[in-house]
Amino acid sequence: MTPQDTRGTHGAIDAWLALMVIIWAGNFSLVKATLTHIPAIPFNALRLVLSSGLFLLFLAWQHARGGRSDETAPHGPWRALEASVPTRADWLVIAGLGVVGHFVYQLCFIGGLARTSAANSALILGCTPVAVGLLSAAVGQERVRSAHWIGAVLSLLGLYLVAGRGVRVSGESFAGDALLLVGVGCWALYTVFSRPLLDRHSPLVVTGYSMAIGTVFFLPVALPSLRALDWTAVTTNAWIALVTSAVLSINVAYLIWYTAVQRIGNTRTSMYSNVVPVVALAIAWVSLGERVDLAKVGGAAAILSGVVLSRLAAGELRRRLPAPPAEE
């Protein structure tokens, strides 16, 4: 692969990450509207069951077609959809990722959102790139350059301007804030420790199997709420919203996230999560008529500047590295 091909690949990943940002930003409004018909825990359980089922069906279809071989392995973006068979050691790691990244994380995310404000949630979840960068550096996966840290600080400042003014830490919200902080740690662990697996397996394999395992753990917790749910009261629109949220925000967006982790690394991928509140703000402004003041515009600019700075730092690092050998 030539340096020009590498730049094209990274540009395509940036475009896919932009799509992921739009999906996750729009998902906030979609979920908020749906939770008036389906409570949070049953909603999340149903999403996980549907998404896991779709992943497993696609994996079964890929294996039925003969899985992956050197001659038939897909190229380009379709490489994310390869199906390979994990080893016994890989299965142990995948199981751990499923528990941390899909069971504990989902409980913390849903429980945290229910107990604290949206502003607190946005700020705490905005710490994800910092947590991923610190953990990546601690385990020696990536060299986190100073420009990345400057970009992270800019993004955190922007998040404060967009969502954090007036945030209060009180007894009522402390439990929710703490749960979200644990959730940030879980997502960082899931992102960083999936990286070695992604050197041997596709994002489809890592995400699909780990999510299925996490769902198995999540269902017993959700079972009482699922039994208590009045299924006849769930509207057709709520079912459509649930399916849309599952397919787009989990199946599609998770594949994009881990394809990016595989191709461009943990730190630069995680920076894109800070753009989600900016796009969510724009969607709320257009669709709901929410007020957007000058401080929020400045915050959006700071967040985007932080991501661009991180992107430029990564590009400069690639230019300094020797070019990889050309593919035959």
Residue 239, both tokens: 């079912």
The backbone torsions φ and ψ at residue 139, rounded to the nearest 5 degrees and listed phi first, read -90, 0
Judge whether 325 lies within some domain. no
**Whether 254 contacts 17, CB under 8 Å:** no
Instruction: Print the domain residue range for 74.
Output: 3-320
Q: How many domains does the chain divide into?
A: 1
Note the pTM of the prediction, 2 decimals: 0.76
Q: What are the CA-CA distances from residue 220 to residues 42, 90, 208 (Å)?
A: 11, 25, 20
Judge whether 282 lies within some domain. yes
Q: Is 244 exposed, middle or buried (0-12, 13-18, 19+ CB in 10 A)?
A: middle
DSSP 93-156: HHHHHHIIIIIIHHHHHHHHHHHS-HHHHHHHHTTHHHHHHHHHHHTTS----HHHHHHHHHHH
Judge whether 328 lies within some domain. no
Assign 246 a pLDDT band (cuts: 50, 70, 90): very high
Residue 80, classed as helix, strand or coil, is: helix
Residue with tokens 């429980």: 111
Judge whether 326 lies within some domain. no
Span 291-312, pLDDT tens digits: 656 666 666 666 666 666 655 6
Predicted confidence (pLDDT) at residue 325 exceeds the cutoff of 70 = no
Average pLDDT over residues 160-184: 70
**Whether 80 contacts 68, CB under 8 Å:** no
Residue 230, classed as helix, strand or coil, is: coil
Span 249-301, pLDDT tens digits: 999 999 998 888 888 888 778 778 777 777 776 776 666 555 656 666 666 66
User: How far is the C-alpha of 266 from the C-alpha of 194, rounded, in Å?
Assistant: 10
Judge whether 137 lies within some domain. yes
DSSP 242-264: HHHIIIIIIIIHHHHHHHHHHHH
End-to-end CA distance of the chain: 9
Span 216-243, pLDDT tens digits: 999 999 999 999 999 999 999 999 999 9
Predicted confidence (pLDDT) at residue 56 exceeds the cutoff of 90 = yes
Report the pLDDT value the prediction gives residue 6, as an integer from 0 to 100: 44
Residue with tokens 């992107």: 311
Q: What are the CA-CA distances from residue 35 to residues 30, 39, 242, 286 (Å)?
A: 9, 5, 10, 21
Helix (H) or strand (E) holding 296: helix 294-320
Report the pLDDT value the prediction gives residue 193, as an integer from 0 to 100: 92
User: How far is the C-alpha of 127 from the C-alpha of 129, rounded, in Å?
Assistant: 6
